[in-house]
Amino acid sequence: MNTFQDEPRSNRTSFKSGFVAIVGRPNVGKSTLMNHVIGQKIAIMSDKPQTTRNKIHGVYTTEDTQIVFLDTPGIHKRKSKLGDYMNQVAYNTLNEVEVILFLVDVSAGLGSGDKFVMEQLAKVKTPVILVMNKIDQVHPDELPPMIKSYHELFDFAEIVPISALHGNNVTRLLEVLGTYMPEGPKYYPDDQITDHPEQFVVAELIREKILHLTREEIPHSIAVAIEDMRVQDNGVVYISAVIYVERDSQKGIVIGKQGALLKEIGKLARQDIEHLLGSKTFIELWVKVKKDWRNQDRILRDLGFRHDA
C-alpha cells in the first residue's frame, strides 16, 4: 500500500528543487557567493581573472527546497583553447537551469565585460536575476542610477543587491530563488554540499594557493592533478599532486628558492584541505612542465577539461 497516496491532500507537503547558474564576467564574486550560501569553501577564490575553470556544483538544502548552484567559468573573450572550453561550459549551463544569476561588481561600475555577458544572456529564454554584488563598497545613493543603467540594457526578472563577502541581503536572494524552483525531487542528501569528488576540490584548493602566491605570468599557466589520495593506516590522508606549468622558467618560480614557495603552497593548502576532509593530511607536491598545455586538446582532456562537462 502506498501510504503517501492515502494521506489527505491537505496534509501533503510539496518539495521544490531546481538548478541555478551563476554567471558574470571574471572576478565579480561568483565563487564567494556560492561558498557563502553553502557554508563551506568548495569553489576557490582569487583576485585574478579566470580563477574558476570548471562548472562547480554547490547544493543548498532546506526543509522544503533544494537549490543546486552551478558556478561557471567567467564568460570572457577567449585567448586559448582553454578559454574556448571555459566559455562553452558557461554557455551550456544557461540551458540547463531554472534561473540565471547575473552577478556584477557595483564597485567597478557597468563595463564592456558586463555588456558582453548580457549579449549572450539575450540569446536564452531562462529568467535572469541581476545580482549587484559588493554593495558594501559603494554609497547607497549610488545604487539607483546603477540599477537604471542595467535595466535599460536588459529586461531582468528581478534585481537583488548583495554583499557576497559579508552576507548582506543573501537571505533575501535565497528567498527570491525559492519562488522560481518548481516542485521536484531531492537530488542530493541533506548533508551533501557538492557533487564533485573530493579529489577535484583538493586540486582546486591547491591551485588557489598558487594563485595567491605567484605573480601575473603564472596563474593562467597552472593546472593541478591529484595522482594519489588515500587514507593511511594511521588515519592520515596521503595526497600526491602534480602542478603543471607551461615553461621551465615557470617551474622554477613555483618551486621557489630552495623549495620555499612550494612548501608554502603545501602548508596553506593543507589547512583548507584538512578543514574540508576533517582529517590530518600529508601532501607531496611535484612540479612538471607541459609546454603550451592550454592549447593542446589531448592534454586538456587528460586534465579533465571537456566541452561536454
Q: How far apart are CA 62 and CA 98, in angstroms?
A: 18
24 is in an annotated binding site: yes
Distance CA 252, CA 69 (A): 38
Q: Annotation-wise, does 25 bind a ligand? A: yes
Distant-in-sequence, close-in-space partners of 244: CB < 8 Å, separation ≥ 6: 222, 223, 224, 225, 287, 288, 289, 290, 293, 303
State yes or no: 308 annotated in a binding site. no
- Is 92 known to sit in a ligand binding site? no
297 is in an annotated binding site: no
Q: Extract the C-alpha cell encoding 205.
A: 584548493
CA distance 267 to 272: 9
Angle, helix 248-255 to helix 260-277, in steps of 10 degrees: 70
Q: Is 26 annotated as a binding residue?
A: yes
Q: Is 136 annotated as a binding residue?
A: yes
Residue 133 known to bind ligand = yes
Which residues on adjacent β-strands are paired with residue 47? none
Beta bridge partners of 241: 226, 285
> Does the annotation list 189 as a binding residue?
no
Question: Is 233 a known ligand-binding residue?
Answer: no
The three-point CA angle 64-69-70 to 5° equals 155
135 is in an annotated binding site: yes
214 marked as binding residue = no
Say which residue the cell 552551478 belongs to.
70
51 is in an annotated binding site: no
- Which residues belong to the annotated binding site? 24-31, 71-75, 133-136
- Which residues belong to the annotated binding site for GTP? 24-31, 71-75, 133-136
